[in-house]
Amino acid sequence: MSGGSIRVLVVDDSALVRRIITDSLAPFREIEVVGTAADPFIARNKLLALNPDVMTLDIEMPRMDGLTFLRLVMTHRPVPVVVFSSLTKPGSAKAVEALEAGAVDVLGKPGSSYSASADGSRLAEAIRTAAQARVTAAIGGPPLAQFKDKPSERTVVRPHSPTLPPTVLPAGGLAANLAGQIILIGASTGGTEAVKKILMGLPADSPGICVVQHIPAGFSRAFADRLNQLCQMEVREPEPGDRLGTGLALIAPGNRHLCLRRQHQHYVAELNDGPPVHHQRPSVDVLFNSAVMAGVGRPAVGVLLTGMGADGARGLLALRQAGTATIAQDEQSCVVFGMPREAIRLGAAQRVLPLDQIAFHVAQHFTSPALGNEERRSL
């Protein structure tokens, strides 16, 4: 970042929206809009000429849609990208595709909640976080002929951890061994892909799963729907009073806290509109602490993934103190190492693992509890 400022390129076909974004960021001295572009072809040239730290990108644009341009950028000239999308069902689905393609964050278009309207604080926060993100060059992608300029020297490629072999499950699957089994997952920036990787690595009869991913209202349902298409278990947003059971993963809806309470031998999901915690609603700490209050213990696993800030760190510590196995994602595989770093600093993580190994170790906890306990190491 030049002179300590975060250099931003704004890409949107609407002159009005470009002006709104630029004006909303003006009060934040640490952020500098160094250029704007009305379409991806202009943006490509400015991206290479201006070398911004962050790019904001509208998905719906003429000449070349934002998703195609994003994939080209992430293949040939990676840069942290904050995407704008409409809150319609098609727009939300495209926003999830953008996150899969490498966008760091997604916001509603100016004028909607979680957008660049009002005082611009939400956008400024997203840009600050994006500037610290570790971006990864995509493998493959659209033909290079569509993006003829050579990649910049700023390209950052994150090393990938080796993928462990599939878990060998006992007869009856993961959920056959212990009552009260549950998997709790918290994530923020970069977490949509991390959560996807973990859930896709678990079998259909996994214990009940609760996920808090920091994602704006309007996009969380599309995220859950996408996971439901890809994963072996059922994945959806919860309804109040839903009983968590085998083969069900619940994704906290945007702008609502997800909590658990104990009802006889089962965990029941509850939603509330309590105040944000760590500036977040849903909050990972709220979920983790509610699980502790509900009596969670050894037959459970808590996982804290990539994200800015400290949400979930103290909740993970409370889980560990309650006897729950706890895992934090390692720095090398994180997009932003904030939340796991804080958990490790507090001594909340029994294991610190690369993303590619987390699903394996979660499954191992339930298939071989005794072995899992022997192998755990305090950090």
Of 92, 112, 117, 188, which is the active-site residue? Answer: 188
Out of 123-137, 328-342, 361-375, give the one with best mean pLDDT.
328-342
Check pLDDT > 90 for residue 261: yes
Q: Which of 105, 285, 311, 330 is catalytic?
A: 311
Q: Where are the alpha helices (DSSP H) in the chain?
A: 15-25, 40-50, 66-76, 89-101, 121-131, 191-200, 220-230, 284-293, 313-321, 338-346, 355-367, 369-375
Our answer to whether residue 242 is catalytic in this structure is no
Compute CA 187 distance to the chain's CA centroid, rounded to the nearest angstrom: 5
180-224 confidence digits (pLDDT tens): 799 999 999 999 999 999 999 999 999 999 999 999 988 999 999
**Beta-carbon neighbour count of residue 41 at 10 Å?**
11
Torsion, Cα 252 254 257 263, to 10 degrees, reads -30
d(CA 83, CA 4): 23
Residue 111's pLDDT band, with cuts at 50, 70 and 90, is: low
Is 311 considered catalytic here? yes
> Which residue matches tokens 């890409």?
11
- Residue (of 251, 250, 243) closest to 267 by Cα position: 243
User: d(Cα 215, Cα 288) in Å, to the nearest integer?
Assistant: 18
Could you confirm whether 283 is annotated as catalytic?
no
Domains of the chain by start residue, with CATH:
2-146 (3.40.50.2300), 174-375 (3.40.50.180)
Q: Which of 211, 242, 243 is nearest to 227 (CA)?
A: 211
Mean pLDDT is lowest, of 134-138, 231-235, 356-360, for: 134-138
CA–CA separation, 151 and 136 (whole Å): 13
- Between CA 104 and CA 78 the distance in angstroms is 11
Q: Give the residue-averaged pLDDT of 347-360.
A: 97
pLDDT in tens, 155-185: 333 333 334 344 434 444 444 334 579 999 9
Q: Count the alpha carbons within 13 Å of 92 in the hemisphere toward its beta carbon.
A: 17
Looking at 214, 257, 278, 365, which residue is catalytic? 214
> For residues 186 and 265, what is the distance between their CA atoms, to the nearest angstrom?
24
Digit-coded pLDDT (tens) for 58-72? 998 888 999 999 999
